[in-house]
Copies of this chain bind each other. A is one copy, B any other.
Amino acid sequence: MSAALRKLLDAKPDSLRARGLNRFAPYLMNRIIGRYNRTLRAELAQLGLTTPKMRALAVLSVRDGIMINELCVYAVAEQSTMSRTLDRMEETGLIERRPDARDSRARLIHLTDDGRALFDTLWPSLSAADARLFEGVGPEDQDRFLAILDRMLRNIRAHEI
């Protein structure tokens, strides 16, 4: 696009109507994530799992031994919900809470071998759902898309993780 045309477009009075819903990222992202989460929730329910449980398994598979508040940030979960979820996961042997070696009052959450094995069985369908999102998008565009998402998260996040 020429600089002159860009300037002309930039000068147009901005409104959602002039822009169009499909040119407004928060709209598109809410539609996509709303559908993605709903489909996944139904699939998980068939396996007797919930979204917070799946997310706890996913995050701990990458960042084992973190505090509940960190887990809640990564998992986009309320602490009350996550606390109940972890109680059930501890009862069924999927996670363990162990004292922090650096601070005995704090407890860190660890995935057990059973928890890791359960997430390994879930990962192929999560990976397939991700691949379905990207159908028709080439590898370079996928890389650029992920880099922009990463930048967006740094632009907007309230926590340092």
Confirm or deny: A108 has a beta carbon within 8 angstroms of a beta carbon on chain B.
no
Confirm or deny: A76 has a beta carbon within 8 angstroms of a beta carbon on chain B.
yes
- Nearest-neighbour CB distance to chain B for A39, whole angstroms, equals 8
A30-B15 Cα distance, complex, nearest whole Å: 26
Confirm or deny: A6 has a beta carbon within 8 angstroms of a beta carbon on chain B.
yes
Contact with B along A119-157 (1 / 0, CB 8 A): 110010011011011111101110011101111110111
Confirm or deny: A26 has a beta carbon within 8 angstroms of a beta carbon on chain B.
yes
**How many copies of this protein are present in the complex?**
2
Contact, CB under 8 Å: A136 / B156: no
Confirm or deny: A12 has a beta carbon within 8 angstroms of a beta carbon on chain B.
no
Confirm or deny: A91 has a beta carbon within 8 angstroms of a beta carbon on chain B.
no
Contact, CB under 8 Å: B157 / A31: yes
Contact of A25 among B28, B145, B157 (CB under 8 A): B145
A36-B34 Cα distance, complex, nearest whole Å: 14
A26-B131 Cα distance, complex, nearest whole Å: 10
Contact residues in B for A22 (Cβ distance below 8 Å): 146, 150, 153
Interface residues of A (CB under 8 A from B): 1, 6, 14-17, 20-37, 39, 58-59, 61-63, 74, 76, 119-120, 123, 126-127, 129-130, 132-137, 139-141, 144-146, 148-153, 155-158
A-B contact pairs, 11 of them (CB 8 A): A22-B150, A22-B153, A24-B130, A27-B58, A27-B74, A28-B146, A28-B149, A32-B156, A35-B153, A135-B151, A136-B155
